[in-house]
Amino acid sequence: MTDARRAPSLRPLHAALLAAVALLAVAAPAAARAADDRVIFRLTDPLGDDHGDGSLRYPRSNDLKRGDLDIASFSAREEKGGTFFEVTFARRIRRTEPRAIDEGATLLTDVARLGFYTFNVDVYVDTDRKPGSGNVQLLPGRLAELQPEYAWEKCIALTPRPWDAGDETKRILTRRQRMEELKARGGKEKLPRETAQEISAEVNRLVDEKVFFPTVVQVNGPTVRFFVPASFLGGPARPEWAYVVFVTGADILQKLDLASLLGIDKKAALPGPYLIPVAYGSWENKFGTDTIDELLPPIVDLVVPPGASQEKLLGSSDPETDTPVRLPGVVPADLPPAGAAGKAR
Ligand SMILES: [Ca+2]
Ligand SMILES: [Ca+2]
């Protein structure tokens, strides 16, 4: 398309030739596309690796069992007005049902209104592919960063409570920004009201611009599909972009105590909204581990590029130096055909 548009500025003969070639080039993928149902890319992930760095144990809860958060594939499909991303798990997704989840007779279907309730999927997209350009920090509570080479411009956060998760994310980030500003000023007095408001306005603006919480979601067997409008990504998803994709457990009833943020010095160690954390030992409501590492991410399954090891990556934090794990992106266009991504362990 681009070549065809540029053609008139070239010498006539070349222009005609280029236009013909461009037409051919456009026609071939279009045909493939029709047969391929408008799939932009598809990444596969090994089965049986829903254990983070290798040490994660599922909570002893009836709502979550091994395999539930095991990613089998991640794909993108162009649809009218945007992109449907799709994650297929190793097992059927647990559907919400109208059962009471507290003493006030709140129903699960009141809180988790999109049909699922056990997981979050994060997708960080590096759209400019310029090393060092973009964000390396992830959403709160992930205890991970991105390798600067894959710094992201856009983040898609699929969660069972998208409306609340958006608000909570803003509250957590505002709180942290205010704490950092206070610290920078010597930490003695309160922030002037104006400064505090400026910080919150800026955080709100950034989250609205850069993070999308899908609300058009379809759950079907082991597969969840979620729609991201072209207006957010600047068009349909592209296979030349880099993607960091992982799943965490969702705790839809979690109440975050923001006051507890005050005691947190480690940059990465913020709590995350509706995220099941990891802790040493075995737990009813947390992922358990035998690793003593307060920066061990609560990431259960991660899609990695060929040659990389999920277990090594997720186990590479260094609490001593306050260094969280740093994750690489996957570029679908760079992969060998048939979606070899993640095959390497
Ligand atoms: Ca997997
Ligand atoms: Ca994986």
Cα–ligand 1 centroid distance for 310 (angstroms): 10
Based on the fold, state whether residues 104 and 235 are members of the same structural domain: yes
* In-domain check, residue 286: yes
Instruction: Tell me: pLDDT of 328 over 70.
Output: yes
Cα–ligand 1 centroid distance for 288 (angstroms): 18
* In-domain check, residue 339: no
Provide the pLDDT for residue 8. Answer: 39
pLDDT in tens, 133-188: 999 999 999 999 999 999 999 999 999 999 999 999 999 999 989 988 998 998 77
Provide the pLDDT for residue 131. Answer: 92
Based on the fold, state whether residues 7 and 128 are members of the same structural domain: no
Write out the two tokens for 172.
């957590």
Ligand (nearest to CA of 312):
2
Ligand (nearest to CA of 52):
2
Provide the pLDDT for residue 104. Answer: 84
Percent above pLDDT 90 for the chain:
71
Average pLDDT over residues 69-88: 98
Cα–ligand 2 centroid distance for 334 (angstroms): 18
Average pLDDT over residues 34-63: 90
Number of domains in the chain: 2
Provide the pLDDT for residue 337. Answer: 74
Under the banding of pLDDT at 50, 70 and 90, the label for residue 341 is very low
Cα–ligand 1 centroid distance for 262 (angstroms): 36
Which position has the higher pLDDT, 179 or 303?
Answer: 303
Based on the fold, state whether residues 118 and 2 are members of the same structural domain: no
* In-domain check, residue 121: yes
pLDDT in tens, 278-289: 999 999 999 999
Cα–ligand 2 centroid distance for 344 (angstroms): 10
Boundaries of domain holding 16: 1-36
Instruction: Tell me: pLDDT of 264 over 60.
Output: no
Provide the pLDDT for residue 255. Answer: 75
Based on the fold, state whether residues 45 and 171 are members of the same structural domain: yes
Provide the pLDDT for residue 234. Answer: 97
Cα–ligand 2 centroid distance for 250 (angstroms): 18
Based on the fold, state whether residues 51 and 21 are members of the same structural domain: no
Ligand (nearest to CA of 46):
1
Which position has the higher pLDDT, 264 or 189?
Answer: 189
Cα–ligand 2 centroid distance for 11 (angstroms): 51
* In-domain check, residue 72: yes
Based on the fold, state whether residues 46 and 119 are members of the same structural domain: yes
Instruction: Tell me: pLDDT of 10 over 80.
Output: no
Cα–ligand 2 centroid distance for 44 (angstroms): 9
Provide the pLDDT for residue 343. Answer: 40
Q: Among 207-221, 244-258, 317-331, where is mean pLDDT lowest?
A: 244-258
* In-domain check, residue 344: no
Under the banding of pLDDT at 50, 70 and 90, the label for residue 31 is very low
Provide the pLDDT for residue 21. Answer: 43
Average pLDDT over residues 65-93: 97
Based on the fold, state whether residues 164 and 17 are members of the same structural domain: no
Give pTM, 2 decimals: 0.85
Provide the pLDDT for residue 268. Answer: 55
Based on the fold, state whether residues 31 and 44 are members of the same structural domain: no
Cα–ligand 1 centroid distance for 189 (angstroms): 49
Under the banding of pLDDT at 50, 70 and 90, the label for residue 292 is confident
Provide the pLDDT for residue 117. Answer: 96
CATH number of domain containing 124: 2.60.40.1190
Based on the fold, state whether residues 31 and 45 are members of the same structural domain: no
* In-domain check, residue 125: yes
Provide the pLDDT for residue 345. Answer: 37
Based on the fold, state whether residues 330 and 231 are members of the same structural domain: yes
Instruction: Tell me: pLDDT of 42 over 50.
Output: yes
Q: Among 30-44, 75-89, 109-123, 194-208, where is mean pLDDT lowest?
A: 30-44
* In-domain check, residue 260: yes
Percent above pLDDT 70 for the chain:
83
Based on the fold, state whether residues 212 and 67 are members of the same structural domain: yes
Based on the fold, state whether residues 232 and 280 are members of the same structural domain: yes
Cα–ligand 1 centroid distance for 296 (angstroms): 18
Mean pLDDT of the chain: 87
Cα–ligand 2 centroid distance for 305 (angstroms): 10
According to the per-residue pLDDT averaged within each range, which of 61-65, 66-70, 250-254 is highest? 66-70
Which position has the higher pLDDT, 60 or 12?
Answer: 60
* In-domain check, residue 341: no
